Amino acid sequence: MAMNRNRYFLVGVLFILLGTQFRMIDSFVLNEPTTRTLAKMSRSSTPTVNDSFSSFLMQVHPKPTKRVHPPRWLGLAMIAVGSVVSLHALAIPRH
């Protein structure tokens, strides 16, 4: 599969859209199987609970979930890479 002009442009637009999404969110919650897999890969026994309300909910509904806070610069970096790739796609000659 050759990377032609259309595919470069598509990858660039996808990076721009993903970067915009990462700029708009503050955090996201992983589901139970993903949290358990992440805990196994990091060799920790259980995900940690750091506030009292979450520990209360763990007693009532014991499905462990992990909240991920992506860094603020990630969205801007993805938008910048996407715009460079999209502009590069416009500079590639047509075949």
The residue whose two tokens read 């590639």 is 92
Domain coverage including residue 84: 1-25+70-95
Q: What is the pLDDT of residue 34?
A: 87
pLDDT tier at 74 (50, 70, 90 boundaries)? very high
Crossing angle of helices 72-91/5-24, nearest 10°?
A: 160
Residues 45 and 60 grouped into a single domain: yes
pTM: 0.68
Residue 86 has pLDDT above 90, yes or no: yes
Mean pLDDT of 49-64: 62
One domain, residues 54 and 79: no
Q: Which residue has the higher pLDDT, 12 or 37?
A: 12
